[in-house]
């Protein structure tokens, strides 16, 4: 993990569950006392999805030198970054990334891209994935090629067995979330479509609404830059058949109170209906997300500071709790 901005340590008097049950959430971590918003960025949780990683190493370069890896000045992004604490994990799944020989999926056909992501159990090594491992509770079946979604133990960190023994990757990410109590956390992925900020599942409606506010700001940025976008989601209840997956994004919220979401960008796989983008546009899509999220987090922080002190702990309604 690479960090920018000093740590502003906060006392923790309660875990998330008891802080909510006691109706005083700030006893978990009083994030309003920090000067800077804390933003956690996870790249390449799926090892073949290197676009977010590329965006993050460019962000590191910008924070170090003021220019991205193309040599382009990024004064706005750097100035925003200096007003935040940034926690950057360019790659949250090193095993999967190490297995990814092509280094990007740009220009691949969908079957080949699926092979590198999900692997194959076909002994002939056919680049088909009729039985993707992620359909088996996050554990890859015995495979002749294990896809890059998985760590070397066969676990997809997005869909780990969260109520069992955690993979080392998920354990480490959640430990960072607990230690740092970020205000925001994002897991960066790719898809054929997008770019899109996805609605987080199994979080309070207020968290969905906050992510939706970011999505609206981001879409405006994309439109101004003449980049493709998907209209922002509407917050709503979780349900359906099948119901949404409980994934690492929800765990990040529950572990730390962070406003957490998943982001997907187009990856240039050649498929009918896929979003057409150049590699440079993929990078711009990520740099604009970084800028929009920092700006949004800073604005929410200054709005909440302007609205004055919050209700004190002793305002607990006597009839509310047993």
Q: Which residues bind Zn ion (CB under 5 A)?
A: 46, 49, 189
Let me know: does 212 contact 233? Beta carbons within 8 Å.
yes
In angstroms, give the least distance from the CB of 91 to Zn ion: 13
Report the Cα 39 to chain-centroid distance in Å.
10
Which is closer to Zn ion, CB of 46 or CB of 221? Answer: 46
In angstroms, give the least distance from the CB of 64 to Zn ion: 27
Both tokens assigned to 6? 């000093």
Count Cβ atoms below 10 Å from residue 316 Cβ, excluding itself: 13
Which is closer to Zn ion, CB of 81 or CB of 119? Answer: 119
Burial 188-197 (b: 16+ CB within 10 A, else e): bbbbbbbbbb
Which is closer to Zn ion, CB of 27 or CB of 187? Answer: 187
Q: Strand 184-191 to strand 38-42: parallel, antiparallel, or no bridges (unpaired)?
A: parallel
Which is closer to Zn ion, CB of 78 or CB of 189? Answer: 189
Q: Strand 184-191 to strand 259-266: parallel, antiparallel, or no bridges (unpaired)?
A: parallel
Residue 259 CA to residue 183 CA, distance in Å, equals: 6
| DSSP 3-state of 214 | helix
In angstroms, give the least distance from the CB of 67 to Zn ion: 29
In angstroms, give the least distance from the CB of 138 to Zn ion: 12
Which is closer to Zn ion, CB of 99 or CB of 189? Answer: 189
Report the Cα 118 to chain-centroid distance in Å.
20
Q: H-type helices in 22-155, by residue range?
A: 51-65, 75-81, 94-98, 110-118
CA dist 108 → 271, 275, 318, 322 (Å) = 9, 14, 62, 59
Residue 272 CA to residue 265 CA, distance in Å, equals: 16
Which is closer to Zn ion, CB of 38 or CB of 44? Answer: 44
In angstroms, give the least distance from the CB of 189 to Zn ion: 3
In angstroms, give the least distance from the CB of 117 to Zn ion: 8
In angstroms, give the least distance from the CB of 92 to Zn ion: 11
| DSSP 3-state of 77 | helix
Let me know: does 269 contact 279? Beta carbons within 8 Å.
no
Which is closer to Zn ion, CB of 4 or CB of 104? Answer: 104
């Amino acid at each position: 993990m690479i960090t920018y901005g000093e740590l502003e340590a906060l006392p923790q008097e309660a875990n998330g569950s008891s802080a909510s049950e006691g109706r005083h959430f700030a006893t978990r971590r009083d994030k309003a006392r920090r000067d800077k918003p804390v933003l956690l960025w996870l790249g390449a949780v799926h090892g073949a999805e290197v676009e977010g990683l590329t965006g993050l190493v460019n962000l590191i370069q910008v924070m170090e030198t003021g220019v991205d890896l193309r040599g382009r000045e990024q004064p706005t992004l750097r100035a925003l970054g200096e007003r935040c604490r940034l926690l950057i994990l360019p790659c949250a799944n090193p095993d999967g990334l190490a297995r990814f020989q092509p280094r990007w999926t740009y220009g691949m056909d969908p079957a080949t891209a699926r092979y590198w992501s999900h692997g194959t159990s076909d002994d002939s090594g056919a680049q088909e994935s009729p039985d993707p491992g992620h359909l088996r509770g996050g554990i890859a079946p015995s495979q002749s090629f294990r896809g890059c979604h998985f760590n070397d133990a066969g676990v997809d960190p997005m869909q780990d067995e969260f109520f069992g023994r955690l993979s080392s990757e998920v354990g480490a990410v959640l430990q960072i979330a607990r230690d740092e109590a970020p205000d925001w956390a994002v897991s960066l992925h790719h898809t054929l479509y997008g770019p899109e900020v996805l609605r987080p599942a199994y979080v309070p409606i207020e968290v969905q609404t906050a992510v939706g506010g970011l999505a609206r700001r981001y879409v405006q940025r994309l439109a101004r830059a003449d980049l493709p976008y998907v209209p922002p989601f509407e917050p709503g209840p979780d349900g359906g058949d099948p119901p949404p997956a409980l994934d690492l994004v929800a765990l990040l919220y529950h572990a730390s109170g962070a406003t957490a979401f998943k982001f997907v960008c187009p990856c240039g796989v050649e498929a009918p209906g896929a979003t057409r983008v150049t590699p440079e546009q993929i990078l711009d899509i990520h740099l604009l997300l970084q800028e929009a999220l920092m700006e949004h987090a800073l604005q929410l922080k200054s709005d909440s500071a302007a609205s004055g002190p919050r209700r004190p702990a002793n305002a607990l309604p006597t009839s509310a709790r047993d």
